[in-house]
Structures are given as structure tokens and as C-alpha cells.
Chains A and B, each alone.
Chain A
Amino acid sequence: MGSTSAENHGTEGVGRRDLIKRSAALGLISVPTMSFLSACASSGGDDSGDKAKAGKKTAKNPLAVNDTAGMEFVLFDGGFGKEYAEDAVKIYEKNFPKVKVKFSATQKIQSTLQPRFNQGTPPDLIDNSGAEQMDMGVLVGKDQLTDLTPLLDAPSYDDPDKKVRDTLRPGIVEMGQFDGEKVWILYYAYTVYGVWYSQKALDSLDEQYPETWDQMLAVCAKAKKKGMAGWTYAGKYPYYIPFSLYPMIGKVGGREVLDAIDNLEPNAWKHPAVKACFEAYYELYKKGYVLKGTPGLDHIQSQTAWAEGKALFIPNGSWVENESANVIPDDFNLAVSAPTGLDSSDKMPFGTIWASGGEPFIVPAKAKNAAGGMEQLRIMLSEASSKNFTGKVKSLTAYNGGTDGISLTPGLKSGVAALDKAGDNVVNPRLQDWYVQLQKEKIGVSGLGEMMAGRLTPAEAIKKIQGFADEAAKDDSIKHYKHQ
């Protein structure tokens, strides 16, 4: 290192200083975090041609699964745990007694599986979820996934006269498509998004859930008098706000406004409905109805403040019941509602709600036993497995029904009721699975987050967000999708 006259004299200077110098030199070379990237560098592995042979197609085995071939299943071990999948694996092993399923659960989906995709040896079924979710757009764009149409057209597990496709909740099949007819993803859980609150707290204010924005403001004013904030949200992850804001935009301006936004059409965000809804939310901030300090809270902290009764409403998804179970008081009486609209001139009725699939399951294109992976999914989509899931983790599944005869928790019950009320008025904005960075960082953090913290006016926020959307539309390093 240039500073000293290179040589060491005698033994005196060798110890400490040289050690430091050497370690600094080492750090200099090794710290730039690139080498770890190359650790998973592609080795260009080809199809080794050892795919499992098809088995015999029978009524009980419509996907012609090879009854001796092994099957590997990697599950995201998140909020829903792994028990439900283990139970389903047991059924697979019972149906194919000669097979031992290789099952594993991890939170590190990407770090575990990215190298295996690169080597062309992925497992047969993956729950690609969690913070380390692999980018679906890229997987589809690079032909890494198996088309699940055969599964959807196979007879359902419970009723041979019904196709799997016909047993699913609305929107599930479409969500698995990107462009064209092929279905790449099967979302297993079914999430209800909306405004979550404590029925008990609302009762204590002598109020009903507000259906128009004037009523909303009145409820918030009343809450404020009692020392309770109207709203809080995950300030560090402001992309939770859309869970109630987007369906509100859909309700006010109609589905086509949301579709235009998803399609990244020019000036989609400048629609009057978007402006009206942004202004409505901004008013919450202006009038001091948002819990103080909210922009600095993360999702857990804001949910905790809300569960403690510091705020009345929070935009969230149905996982909140499981996630906040330990802070929600027993008599909380958790409930969800479709978002409040503006007034009676809204295009869609009150009850319009955002509900869509969660926990995306995929079968890799290079899987050795793709039929086995699909068969495992078919088992999971049976009524019994679906009920098992709902009973264990307080969440609905893609299987339509399967809630009879099990005792539903308050939040889940309220979610089911909200879905019944919504009927066909379920909207499904796709930005969050089509354009992750645009939705989370740009629209969420830099747009909505800044507006709700009072650092942008609604007009400025819209202009900024439209700019982000135009940028994304022009960026050819990301794949673009359109509503069919």
C-alpha cells in the first residue's frame, strides 16, 4: 500500500500493521459484493433427458402420473406454515404407495432454487412465495414453467364429472395467465383485501361502517374526539394503501380505469376517478385523521398500534388475522369491509372488493416429474385438503367453497360475508404481480407514501406516478402484459 516504503525492517513492524494492511487489501478486493453473484453463475446445463416416463392414465390417475417416479416439492414456509402441505403429501404417498415424496419447506425460495433453475434441475412443484419470491414475469418470459392447462382440464379430485377449473374461485385461472391462454401459476390461497377494523370499536362509537366518503370523515371525526385516530397504514410499506385505494378507484370509475392502469396506458392515472380518490385519502391526512407517526411504522408496528385501538381502520389483506393473532385482543371482533366509495354516483355498488389468489404454485418446465407436481396440486385442491388449510391457517383457498362445517374465526367469517356481498363485483388489479418494482417502490413508497405523509399533494403524486408508469411502459428490460 503506497504510503510506506515497502520493506519491513526487522521484526518490529511485522505484526499489527501488516496484518491490518493485509486485511484491508483483502477487504478491498472481496467486499464489492459481486463474487456471490457468480456463485450461482449459469452452467448452461441441458435437459439431461431423464424425465419420468408417463404412467397409465386411469380414472383415478387422470394426469397419467408414473406411480414409481419420485416427486420433489419445495414449499415456502411462511405465515401459513407447512403442515397443510405435509398433509397433502401424505395423501399423494398413499395414492402412489411406491413413491416417497421429497418434501422440504424453506423461507429462502430464491437462494435455494435460483441455482437449480440455472442448472436445469428444479424440483417438480414449488410454492414461489415470500420475500424471496422469484420473478414470475422472468420465469414465464424465459420458458421456465410448465403450462398447467392439463391440470385445470383434469377431473377434480372429488367429482370426476367436474373439471378442476370449475371448482376454483373467480379470477384464479386468469391470474395464472400472463399473455395468451396458457396458465403458468396456480394460486392456492385466496386473499380478501380491504379495510380492516374492530367491530367492537366501531360499535363503541355508535357507528356503522361508512359507505360514502362524507360518512367516513364523520366517523373519523367522531373517533378523533375519543382520542382515536381514524386510520393507520404500513408507513414504510405504503404499498399496503392500494389494498383499499385501488378497489375504491374501481368502484368510483369502473373496472376499465383499473385495467388501463394495469395496461400502463398513457394518462391512465389522470382519470378523474383516480384524482377524486387520491384527494379523498389526502383529506384523511389533512384533517389529522391518520395516526401520528404512521409514515415511520412498518407493517407489524402499524398493525400493533391498530390492534391496541390507537387507530380504527387499516388497509390490509386477510393474512392480518393470522399475522397479528398475538396482538389482537380476544373481544376485538375483527371485521373487513369493502372500501368506502365517494357517493351515490360511483360506477360500481358498495361492496366492490379486491380479492385474489395468494401463494403461487408453479411446476418448472424442466421438472423431472411435472405430472406428479400437478397431481399434488390436484390433491391440494380437493375439498378435504382445502378445508384442512382453512381450518389450520384461517385463510380461504382457491377451491370455491369448503368452508361448511368448520368453525370460522371472526375475520374469516367477515371475509366470506364480504365476498358474498360483492358477488361479481370483485376487482383484481395486477400491478403488484406484473410490475413489482413499479407497484412497491415507485407508486407505493415514492408516490402514495409521500402523499400520505403530506409531502406531495394529490396532483403532484398523480403526476409523479404517471411518470413512473410511462417509464415502465417504455422500459424494455421488463416484460409487459395486458388484460385480455
Chain B
Amino acid sequence: MQHGKYRFIVGFLALPLGLYALFVVWPFIQSIYYSFTDWTGLSPEFKMVGFDNYSRMLDDDIFWKSLQHSLLFALLLPVVTISLALFFAFMINVGGRKRRNGPVVTGVRGSSFYKIVYFFPQVLSIAIVALLFAFAYNPDSGAINTLLRGIGLGDVQPLWLGDPDLALWAVMAVLVWSTVGFFVVLFSAGMASIPAEMYEAALLDGANRVTTFFRVTLPLLWDTVQSGWVYMGILALGAESFAVVQIMTTGPGGPDYSTTVMVLYVYQKAFRDGQAAYATTIGVALLVVTLAFAAVVMRLGRRERLEY
């Protein structure tokens, strides 16, 4: 049956691969090509300028700032989001106390309700989430400062998005809030497929919740966690960080460039400053960062696969 196997596979893959090449690979090649030109994006004329855009990028303070922020997003957000999501998912699915006549492995009381609550932000578009939080962060009449006043902390009235030391964290918190639910559901699905006997065995051996989590759940869930990690990192480098930064810190990328990220900078250069070629150059840098991130995570996360 091995004979002609590859021809068979190629036959099936030709169309999707063709589409992939046309709509994914080709734009990449084009972008890289444009990064060597002085194309403005506003007229069809351009000429080749060699590595000018790249040397300019290396001298560009705002580029370095945006790179720094993007890296912070890519490193910190997955850690926080995935840890939180793992904790929540564990408590919902496995962490409950054994109730009389109930199943051995169960979540905390009311877990199905929590599942919905956690997932809820996922239903809202990220643009709406960002807008809602932009209102909540309003230092004058926003929900957060009003709450602080309400509980007697009238002297603590941070400027939130108006403070360069706080703005980036405020934006990150929103991303965590809005994405954690997705991973709770994802990890819940993963945990559901772990055989209950494993937990029963662990419990019989006297394992507590912490041990169960680190010795049973996490190892068996590792593949999912790792995929989630890469996925979250890419979200943090790409679309989601763009949306929150663009909407919440409005335009220039926060006070004193404190929240500028690479995708936002690409957008501004291409669609505000009429420097599409330079924008593609930053896009190429973003591609490199994204690929490097994925490679590092894959490398660090490599471990023996457990079969069950």
C-alpha cells in the first residue's frame, strides 16, 4: 500500500497548498520585496532603495520601544493568562471536594456557572471590551476610581491610561481579562479527556489538590498548554494587542509612547504617515519576532509525550 502514497497525498493537498501559497506565502514574499523599496502606499510609483529601511529601523527609537513592549506582551501575557486559566480550569473540573455518592473527580460547587462566567468575555468583540475598559479607566468618572473613592481610598486616584508607568499594565490586564475564558474552556476540554481512573488512583494514594495538579493534570495536559502558549503569544504580538492599544490608549500609543506595540507602529506608518515600505520593514521584523517566539516555546517545551 506504500506504493504511490505520496502521489496520493499530493493529489489531495494540491488545491489547499495552492491556495495557501497564493494567499499566505505570496503576500509574505511581496511584503519582504516592498520593504526594499520607498513605496508610500499612496501612489503606484516606487524605486528600490536597498537596505535603507532596515538601517533606518535600527536607528528608530520608537521601533525599539515598540519591540520592547511587544516582547513584554509575548512573554508576560501567556504566563499570566495560562496560569490563571489552568488554575480556574482545574478548580472547575477536578478541584472539588468529594461529595457523598458523587463522582470521584468533580469541580467546585457551581462550576458549570463559573465556566459560563469565565467564557463570557470571549463572546464580546475585543473592540467592545477595550471601549468598556477605556470608560472604566477614566480617572474622573470611571468605575475603578469611583470604586476607590467609594471604599474610602479617595486619595488613591491613579491616572491609569494617562500615566506612562501604568498604561501598559492597564492594557495588559484587559487582555488577560478578555482571553482567560477561552483557555479555561480549552483546558477544561483537555481535562475532561484525562481518564478518571488516574485521579482515583492518585486520591487513593492520598494526593492532595496541589500534588494532583502537578503530578497528573499538568503532565497529561502538556500538549494543550504548549499550543495555548504559542497561540496566546501570537495573539499578544498581533491582532489583540493592536486592538486594545489602538482603542484604549488612542492613537499615538499611550502617553510618551508607553504602550506602542509593533503592530500598531506598522499600522501607523502604513496608514497614517504614508510610509508603506517602512511599515512592511517593521512587519518583517514582527514576523521574525513571532517565528523566534514560537521556536523558543517549542524548544523549551519539548518533553516526552505521555500515552494513556
Instruction: State the A residues within 8 Å of B (CB).
Output: 1-5, 9, 16-17, 20-21, 23-24, 27-35, 37-45, 110-111, 114, 117-120, 132, 134-135, 137-139, 141-144, 235-237, 291-298, 301, 305, 310, 436-437, 440-441, 444-446, 449-450, 453, 455, 477-478
- The reply to whether A1 and B43 form a contact with Cβ atoms under 8 Å apart is no
CB neighbors of A among B229-266 (8 A): 230-231, 234-235, 237-239, 242, 249-257, 263, 266
Instruction: State the B residues within 8 Å of A (CB).
Output: 23-24, 26-28, 30-31, 34, 39-46, 56, 134, 137-141, 145, 157, 159-164, 186, 189-190, 193, 222-224, 226-228, 230-231, 234-235, 237-239, 242, 249-257, 263, 266-268, 270-276, 278-280, 283-284, 286-287, 290-291, 294, 298-299, 301-303, 305, 307
- With A23-B231, A41-B34, A293-B145 already in contact, the answer to whether A32 and B287 are too (CB < 8 A) is yes
Q: How far is the CA of A42 from the CA of B31 in the complex (A)?
A: 12
- Give every chain B residue within 8 A of A34 (Cβ-Cβ): 27-28, 31, 266, 280, 283-284, 286-287
- Which chain A residue lies CB-closest to B240? A31
- Give every chain B residue within 8 A of A441 (Cβ-Cβ): 251-253, 257
- The reply to whether B44 and A30 form a contact with Cβ atoms under 8 Å apart is no
- The reply to whether A33 and B46 form a contact with Cβ atoms under 8 Å apart is no
User: How many whole Å from A421's CB to the nearest CB in chain B?
Assistant: 33
- Which chain B residue lies CB-closest to A22? B227
Majority secondary structure, B binding face: helix
Q: How far is the CA of A291 from the CA of B56 in the complex (A)?
A: 41
- The reply to whether B274 and A134 form a contact with Cβ atoms under 8 Å apart is yes
- Which chain B residue lies CB-closest to A117? B42
- The reply to whether B302 and A2 form a contact with Cβ atoms under 8 Å apart is yes
Q: How far is the CA of A291 from the CA of B162 in the complex (A)?
A: 14
Pick from B31, B44, B223, B273: contact of A37, CB under 8 Å: B31
Q: How far is the CA of A131 from the CA of B249 in the complex (A)?
A: 15
- Give every chain B residue within 8 A of A478 (Cβ-Cβ): 273
- Which chain A residue lies CB-closest to B190? A16
Q: How far is the CA of A119 from the CA of B257 in the complex (A)?
A: 35
- 6 cross-chain pairs, A with B, having the tightest CB-CB distances, nearest first: A296-B162, A293-B139, A135-B274, A138-B274, A295-B162, A35-B27
- Give every chain B residue within 8 A of A38 (Cβ-Cβ): 26-27, 30-31, 34, 280
Q: How far is the CA of A449 from the CA of B137 in the complex (A)?
A: 18
23 contacts between A and B (CB under 8 A): A1-B230, A3-B302, A20-B228, A24-B230, A33-B242, A33-B267, A38-B31, A117-B42, A138-B43, A141-B40, A142-B42, A144-B43, A236-B162, A291-B140, A293-B159, A294-B140, A295-B139, A297-B138, A441-B251, A446-B256, A450-B164, A453-B163, A478-B273
